[in-house]
Each structure stands twice: as C-alpha cells, then as structure tokens.
Amino acid sequence: MSSLIVTRRNAALGVLGAGTAAALAACSSSNSNSNSSGGSSSSSKSEPAKDYKGEVKFDSFDTSAGEYVPATRTEPAKNVPVPKLPENANEKSVEAFYAHIGYYAACMQYLFVTGDDGPFRKGAYKEDEVQLIYQDPTWSQVLPKVKNKEMWLGNPTVTIETLTAQPEINGDRYKWSLQLSMNIGEFTATPEEVNDIPPGEGYVKVPGAFIGTYSDNKWSVATTQTGNTETVSPKAKSNG
C-alpha cells in the first residue's frame, strides 16, 4: 500500500499547509502565520473595477525546456512549465495582486509535479509560507523523492477561485477571500510500483484568504485558512 494513504487529522495551517496536508491525508498540527499590515504608502495604478470573481487565470510560464509531457504510470512528467511572475507583478494594483494569487497556485502545482520550491521563493511569499508544507512529516519525505524522480504523482492540479469581484482594500493592505482546490492525482508511482488513489481521497477544498501588503514598491503576501478543509471526490467511479 502507498505510504501516502494514512489516517487524516485536522490541522490549523495557512492555505498552503492545510491544503497540501489534507490532500495527502497526513496532517500534523501547526499554526499559520499571518502578515501584519504596514509599510510606506504608495500610489495605486488607476484602473477600472474589473470583475475577477471565479477561477483565477494565470498564463505566465517559462516553456524553454521543451514540450510538456504529462506523467504516466511508468514515467514522471517532463519539461514542466516553470511559473514566472508577469512584468506587472510589482505594481500596486488589483491586477498585480491577482497575478500573485495565480502565481501561488501555479507554484503549488509545480511543486507537486517536480518537488522544486524554487519558484515559490522567487515570489512575494515569506519563508514561513513555504515552510508550512514541510511541517507535515509525509510531505517532508515525499517532496525530496519527487525532486529526485524516485516518486511522482499522477498529474496533480491546483486551482484557486476568488469569491468576490474585487478584494477588500484598506490603504496598502489588500485582502481577497477565496477557495483553493487541490487534487494530487489518480495515482502515486515509483519505478517499482504504482498505487491508485482511492475515489474521494487526495482531493480537497480549502476556504481561505490572501492578504497582500504593498510596501517599497513590491508585494508581501500571506495566506490564512478561514474555515474547515472539505474532502470531496471529484468523480464517483473507481480507478481501474
């Protein structure tokens, strides 16, 4: 049996920690860190009030490695597109804050596929946010194996849905309520064996919020979980 399928316990983490831990059904108790507002005030980019409610779109990737090849039961994914921040990422605007949310989801999915947290560290998230995932004992063992291609997941996906058309804005502080959905895929694999993920396992929804603070011409972004993690099955059929 796969070591990923173990007893589930609740955890009080930020969106990243809570979602990933629940997706693997191997949560360890921990506390999330929130970002305090502050810093120097900067002028906002003038822009019309666009409706951003719904699934967050992000299309800024480095594809220079070649054509992307999804994972199979015999081989891990190849030439995975690397998330990169768009040119407007340092603007003080709703559009830029939205881009950081999309970048977060893209980095999270990239981490699951490759085991590489490098793109996360190039973003606006503090080290505490990145380290939340490594506080889970299962992930702390799995990700190095994924990075070394000793193990891989069956094409995991991460999506974020904003729940309002615009974020709450208070000076340099932006807050956006959202829901993060994660699916670690239909199977886990090693060069020696493949384990199907049972229906209803490995798929979670996490309610949360992204809190962005704009200071010194750049963003600092933190996440917080605002409700219980929901485990749902994306489909009712059994794996073959």
Give per-residue pLDDT as tens, 224-236. Answer: 888 888 876 544 3
In a domain, 6, yes or no: no
Nearest-Å Rg of the Cα atoms of the chain is 18
Judge whether 81 lies within some domain.
yes
Confidence of residue 17 (pLDDT cuts 50, 70, 90): low
Report the C-alpha gap between 191 and 38 in whole angstroms. 50
One DSSP character per residue, 2-33 reads -TT----------HHHHHHHHHTT--------
Is 239 part of any domain? Answer: no
Q: Report if residue 189 sits inside a domain.
A: yes
Q: Is residue 37 part of a domain?
A: no
End-to-end C-alpha distance for the chain, whole angstroms: 16
Question: Could you give the number of structural domains in the chain?
Answer: 1
Can you give the residue range of the structural domain that contains 80? 15-29+51-231
Can you give the pTM of this predicted structure? 0.80
